[in-house]
Amino acid sequence: MNIKIGNNNKISSSTIANTVNGNMEFPKKSWYEKHPIIGGIIVSVIAGVILIFSFWADIVKFIEGVL
C-alpha cells in the first residue's frame, strides 16, 4: 500500500498536525515528591523513635488523671 502526497512524496508548505511546542519544561520536584515511599518510611521511623521515649508514660498518666 503506497501513499503519495504531492509531487513524488515531497511535501512542501504543508501542515500535517497542529502546532507543537517543543519547549516543554517540567516543574522541579522535591526529593519527597520523587520518593514518597522512602520518605514515608523515614518519617515513620522517626515517629517510632520519638514514641519510644519514657516521658510518654507521664503524659498518659496526666491525660488519664484529667479524664
Say if residue 17's pLDDT is above 80: no
Pick the closest to residue 56 from 46, 64, 66 (CA basis): 64
pLDDT of residue 14: 67
Q: Do the beta carbons of residue 39 and residue 31 sit within 8 Å?
A: yes
**Greatest pairwise CA separation for the chain in angstroms:** 92
Residue range 22-52, pLDDT digits in tens = 667 788 999 999 999 999 999 999 999 988 8
Integer Cα distance of 55 and 20 in angstroms: 62
The per-residue pLDDT of the chain, averaged, comes to: 81
Say if residue 20's pLDDT is above 70: no
Q: Specify the 3-state DSSP secondary structure of 38.
A: helix
pLDDT of residue 55: 86
